[in-house]
Structure 1
Amino acid sequence: MRFELPVQRLTQPHSEDRGAVRRAGLIILCLVVLRLVVAATTPLTFDEAYYWTWSKTLAGGYYDHPPMVAVMIRLGTLLAGDTEFGVRLVGVLLALPTSWAVYRSGAILFGSARVGATAAILFNTTMMAWLGTIMATPDVPLMLASSLVLWSLAKLIQTGRGAWWLAVGAAVGAALLSKYNALFLGPTLLIWMIAVADLRRWLRSPWPYLGGLVALLLFSPTLIWNAQHEWASFLKQFGRVGADEFRPRYLLGLLAGQFVVMTPAVAILGFSGLLALARGLPGLRGAATLLHATIWVVVAYFAVHALHEEVHPDWLCQIYPALAIAAAVAVERTEWRPRWQRFVDFLGRWAVPGSVAMVALIVLQLHSGVLSGYRNEEGVRLVGVGFPEVARQIEQLRVRLGASCILATDYGTTSWLMFYLPPGSCVAQHFERIRWANAKEPDAAQLNGKLLFVGRDSYQHWLHPWLVQAFASVDRVADVSRMRGPTVIETYRVDLLDGARGDILLRWPPPELIRRRGL
């Protein structure tokens, strides 16, 4: 079935457009090379190390997220080994197809290759694209899938061919396999079809529903995994929906965080472009509404969410392809009053060098701490700066004391130890076992001998009583500090355990299942 829509067609780009496309391609390639350098020289965050452990036992789902990030890391480590570079390689390279999809979406929706090329550049200047692709997280494949959704919908309204709904469904399915935030795509598409009169006829067509079936089939492995594990992942993530006490300060944090992560240039240009589109700037029929719906559905939900709970900046990552296109519209397709036009031109010129400077300062601070006067800060504790040396010292202790396995208190420390200790080392988190549901447990013989227990100081006050009850012998043998130059980032207490009394892997259900069971 085919619907012909009165739309503006994309013409062949003029020579200046071809030049803009070539320039955009060169800039993006240079930015990707810079990201590869940073990816190779920066220790993993604890979440990246955690996702790396997933990649060793691929499954339909995991406690925290769907499986796409594990597949991405598995491909990278097959190519470049179990190194920081290998973990991050595919994620960095995914910026290339994401940029292509943003370029094509902007070019089709607004009939200009210059709009598409500028959108691709501006997307790559955001901190979300910089740090989101350098770090191997579920945000990387979600941004790619979101950009492919936009491209598929642009082709749909350009051609009027219902078969493009199948491509939309495939992109939505890939997004759902990346992160549960992709569920916002459902109401986004519905609002878009209802709001644009010429698109309402699709509601009476089988094509959108066939596309939905494609998305459901692709997402089915995660549904099956959740069904096999008492819906633990769904309960964990969707348990955040309920409101706690009213805390509007989180909304201010959300706005400030997004302004930084978008980078000021793209934030200002993006919302200027949305304003221009709201005033009726010409493009394909439904183009403006598509961008508005893609952005505001997500923003509205998380603005409400931020009234009672903190919202992490990356939770809005799927709006960035659409925001970049809106920013390009502000630069390439809108005539402003002279003073604002000069400001827009300034932001457009300095977006790339400004973003490179921001990343350079972030990397400098991460590795040296010089910008904060060598003080400790939250950001460095999330990255494994100094942890390779911690792992080396812990391995020396293990060998000297004859311990057969290492227990750790939290999943981040456990994952870092698994990554930075010699391959094949026995490491386990003694509780939160749902996080390791897909992994093979250590052999009983390894857990029955001498063990090292590694934990941050902040965990010890409530864990030490359990250790005394669970083991006949508990001896503090060392304190190992994680350092950044002269600064102590955090200190790990190491205990030697012997004489286990029963199963030392605590198989308590996660908090979500405890509440569900009424325990």
Structure 2
Amino acid sequence: MTASATIEAADRTDEDGVPALRAGPVLVVAGVLGALLLATAGRHGYYMDELYFRVAGRHLAFGYVDQPPLAPLLARAQIAVFGDSVFALRVVPALLAVASVVVAALVVRELGGGGRAQVLAALATSASLATLAAGHVLHPTAVDHLVWVTVCWLVVRLVRTGDTRLWLAVGAVVGVGLLAKYLVALLVVTLLVGLVLCGPRRVLRSGHLLGGVVLGLVVAGPGIVWQARNGWPQFTMASEMSAGFGVEGAVGFLVGQPLMIGLFLTPLWIAGLVALFRRPQWRPYRSLAVAYLLMVVLLTVVGGFSRYSEGLLTVLLAVGCVPAVDWARGVGRRALLGAAVLLNAVTSAVMCLPVLPATAYGEDSPLAGFADAQLGQTGWAELTEQVAAVYRSLPEGDRARAVLLGQNYSEAGALDRYGPGLDLPAVYSGHNSYADFGVPSDDRTVVVAVGVDVATLRPLFGRCETRATLSFPLPHLDQGKEVVVCHDPNRPWDQIWPSLRWIGTF
């Protein structure tokens, strides 16, 4: 059998009326991605948010000030199974990224894409910055990324088949997504508006849609109830993270859109967006394109981050692989397409994964512009050692009465992770839900605080003094912050604590 005949056989439609899934090649691509993510999972160190989730996993709740409950639950489960390490926290994110690659190929299949388009979608999704970023660290985005791609696949399948029972599956997936990140509500709203505007509206006239809504609310119910009972702190958090409308913010959001997938693959997702409007056979699926455009407008107005659209951009990337395969008929065009995927994979890996030494992202390096994600995984052990030096300089009596205080959850999380190995005392922080993890007892009258402004502490204690200034060999968020020692709180800790609590980002 010739190569062309083999491909033709692989692209025959199955009993469902769509091309057969090229499961073998797609799973190979997904498996290679998974192997890469797991091979690099333990390098550098914890990302700043992972230090928080690690501690939050010991304080499980139905909700937190800054997030739903799923990320801390995953942290606790992975540590229980794989041990307390950086690698342990990143197993599930890697597996979720692998699943998103498979689902991207399923999106292409539903749209009539054959084997080549499915494999290209798997390759392009694996090579995108969004997928690599979601699969590398434990973060709500790790779940959110897969949820968005899966919801879009289910909606496309629902529209194609007319099987409205799929609304129940959509509701269940959205419910899980709401346990990780409330942003999926934006996808639901924009997709529904897209269906109203572009059709087919008949899929909305079904009791299964209501059933899906109810199922989603039931699954997400614990987190929603927690938010309601605690005064909806997520809205406060959202307002802290939103920049509001402004020309600079709008430009930054729009410029960031190509970066979410990668510059070399931007033509593919743009091709997918355009094809949804131009291809007559894809008219029933135009709600995907409309949803993206609505999302861009909404996020631009409220000052949202560019990364908020990455899930839908991943779907458009997969969609664009169908016209890309049609375009790449000759050897030259196929080589160009392959080069784009490869170059995007390399640049995305350099930006997101610890494939290079951390020193490669120093201030004098040409890669310094990519340093945020990389250097956010460094310096935490060094921070703890510098705080330990201050603690050890205290008289023995002071050490017996001391606690540690981190201004933000990453500082506190780092001290919690590395402090026991240096015989450091208990750690506290007033940042977001870390403030609810415990308050020092009143017999603890000495505080070693890192990152807290001494002007904030002086009104609360008998005396405070700066003992050290943090310094790191590589750029770090805590560079230049002070380590302050305070004695004798002027009120009981439960009365002082509200003055140390704060909600926001850093």
Is TM (by shorter chain) over 0.5?
Answer: yes
Please give the alpha-carbon distance, in whole angstroms, between the structure 2 residues aligned to 1:241 and 1:450: 37
Tell me the secondary structure at the aligned position of residue 453 of structure 1: strand
Tell me the secondary structure at the aligned position of residue 495 of structure 1: strand
| Paired amino acid for 1:355 | A
- Asked if the contact 2:254/2:306 (under 8 Å) is kept, the reply is no
2:306 aligned partner: 313
The answer to whether residue 505 in structure 2 is matched with residue 498 in structure 1 is no
Q: Any residues of structure 2 matched to 1:117-266 within 5 Å, and which? A: 117-197=119-199, 199-237=200-238, 243=244, 247-266=246-265
Please give the alpha-carbon distance, in whole angstroms, between the structure 1 residues aligned to 2:50 and 2:180: 14
Partner deviation per Cα, 1:79-124 (whole Å, 9 max, x = no partner): 2222111122211111122222222222122253433332222112
1:107 aligned partner: 109
Please, which of 281, 298, 303 is the counterpart of residue 301 of structure 1?
298
Please give the alpha-carbon distance, in whole angstroms, between the structure 2 residues aligned to 1:128 and 1:82: 26
Distance 1:238 1:498, change over 3 A: closer
Please give the alpha-carbon distance, in whole angstroms, between the structure 2 residues aligned to 1:157 and 1:258: 27
- Asked if the contact 2:18/2:109 (under 8 Å) is kept, the reply is no
The answer to whether residue 282 in structure 2 is matched with residue 291 in structure 1 is no
Give the CA deviation at 1:508: 4.7
- Asked if the contact 1:483/1:490 (under 8 Å) is kept, the reply is no
Give the CA deviation at 1:31: 2.1
Distance 1:293 1:170, change over 3 A: farther
Give the CA deviation at 1:465: 3.0
Tell me the secondary structure at the aligned position of residue 235 of structure 1: helix
Give the CA deviation at 1:510: 7.0
1:65 aligned partner: 67
- Asked if the contact 1:45/1:384 (under 8 Å) is kept, the reply is yes
Please give the alpha-carbon distance, in whole angstroms, between the structure 2 residues aligned to 1:406 and 1:154: 52
Please give the alpha-carbon distance, in whole angstroms, between the structure 2 residues aligned to 1:270 and 1:488: 34
Please give the alpha-carbon distance, in whole angstroms, between the structure 2 residues aligned to 1:382 and 1:41: 12
1:5 aligned partner: none
Give the CA deviation at 1:343: 5.5
Give the CA deviation at 1:161: 2.3
| Structure 1: gaps spanning 5 or more residues | 1-7, 514-519
| Paired amino acid for 2:359 | S
| Paired amino acid for 1:483 | P
- Asked if the contact 2:194/2:288 (under 8 Å) is kept, the reply is no
Q: Any residues of structure 2 matched to 1:340-379 within 5 Å, and which? A: 346-360=336-350, 363=354, 367-369=358-360, 372-373=363-364, 379=372
Give the CA deviation at 1:383: 0.7
Please give the alpha-carbon distance, in whole angstroms, between the structure 2 residues aligned to 1:389 and 1:509: 25
Please, which of 404, 407, 410 is the counterpart of residue 409 of structure 1?
407
Distance 1:276 1:342, change over 3 A: farther
Please give the alpha-carbon distance, in whole angstroms, between the structure 2 residues aligned to 1:78 and 1:191: 42
| Paired amino acid for 1:426 | A
2:4 aligned partner: none
Partner deviation per Cα, 1:114-150 (whole Å, 9 max, x = no partner): 3333222211211111122102111110111112212
Partner deviation per Cα, 1:204-261 (whole Å, 9 max, x = no partner): 32111111111111121121111221111133215767945xx312233223322223
Please, which of 466, 473, 491 is the counterpart of residue 483 of structure 1?
473
Q: Which piece of structure 1 moves more, 176-185 or 153-162?
A: 153-162
The answer to whether residue 438 in structure 2 is matched with residue 449 in structure 1 is no
2:379 aligned partner: 386
Please, which of 461, 468, 478 is the counterpart of residue 471 of structure 1?
461
Give the CA deviation at 1:469: 2.9
Give the CA deviation at 1:381: 8.8
Please, which of 314, 317, 324 is the counterpart of residue 331 of structure 1?
324
- Asked if the contact 1:108/1:158 (under 8 Å) is kept, the reply is yes
Distance 1:364 1:133, change over 3 A: closer
Distance 1:408 1:488, change over 3 A: closer
1:27 aligned partner: 29
- Asked if the contact 2:198/2:284 (under 8 Å) is kept, the reply is yes
Please give the alpha-carbon distance, in whole angstroms, between the structure 2 residues aligned to 1:476 and 1:214: 54
| Structure 2: gaps spanning 5 or more residues | 1-14
Give the CA deviation at 1:168: 0.8
Q: Any residues of structure 2 matched to 1:44-83 within 5 Å, and which? A: 44-83=46-85
1:89 aligned partner: 91
Partner deviation per Cα, 1:319-338 (whole Å, 9 max, x = no partner): 13312222212322x44898
Tell me the secondary structure at the aligned position of residue 440 of structure 1: coil
Tell me the secondary structure at the aligned position of residue 428 of structure 1: strand
User: Structure 1-normalised TM-score?
Assistant: 0.82
Tell me the secondary structure at the aligned position of residue 476 of structure 1: strand
Please give the alpha-carbon distance, in whole angstroms, between the structure 2 residues aligned to 1:499 and 1:240: 35
Partner deviation per Cα, 1:7-50 (whole Å, 9 max, x = no partner): x953453xxx74xx433322322222222222211222222212
| Paired amino acid for 2:315 | A
Tell me the secondary structure at the aligned position of residue 43 of structure 1: coil
Q: Which piece of structure 1 moves more, 322-331 or 231-240?
A: 231-240
Distance 1:382 1:225, change over 3 A: farther
Please give the alpha-carbon distance, in whole angstroms, between the structure 2 residues aligned to 1:368 and 1:118: 34
Please give the alpha-carbon distance, in whole angstroms, between the structure 1 residues aligned to 2:209 and 2:124: 31
Please give the alpha-carbon distance, in whole angstroms, between the structure 2 residues aligned to 1:500 and 1:243: 39
Please give the alpha-carbon distance, in whole angstroms, between the structure 2 residues aligned to 1:238 and 1:370: 32
Please give the alpha-carbon distance, in whole angstroms, between the structure 1 residues aligned to 2:216 and 2:389: 50
Please give the alpha-carbon distance, in whole angstroms, between the structure 2 residues aligned to 1:104 and 1:374: 41
Partner deviation per Cα, 1:134-172 (whole Å, 9 max, x = no partner): 021111101111122123223323432222110011111
Give the CA deviation at 1:399: 4.1
Tell me the secondary structure at the aligned position of residue 73 of structure 1: helix
User: Structure 2-normalised TM-score?
Assistant: 0.84
Distance 1:364 1:406, change over 3 A: same
| Paired amino acid for 1:251 | A
Please give the alpha-carbon distance, in whole angstroms, between the structure 2 residues aligned to 1:173 and 1:370: 39
Q: CA RMSD in A?
A: 3.3
1:517 aligned partner: none
Please give the alpha-carbon distance, in whole angstroms, between the structure 1 residues aligned to 2:364 and 2:319: 39
Please give the alpha-carbon distance, in whole angstroms, between the structure 1 residues aligned to 2:44 and 2:113: 41
Please give the alpha-carbon distance, in whole angstroms, between the structure 2 residues aligned to 1:51 and 1:488: 19
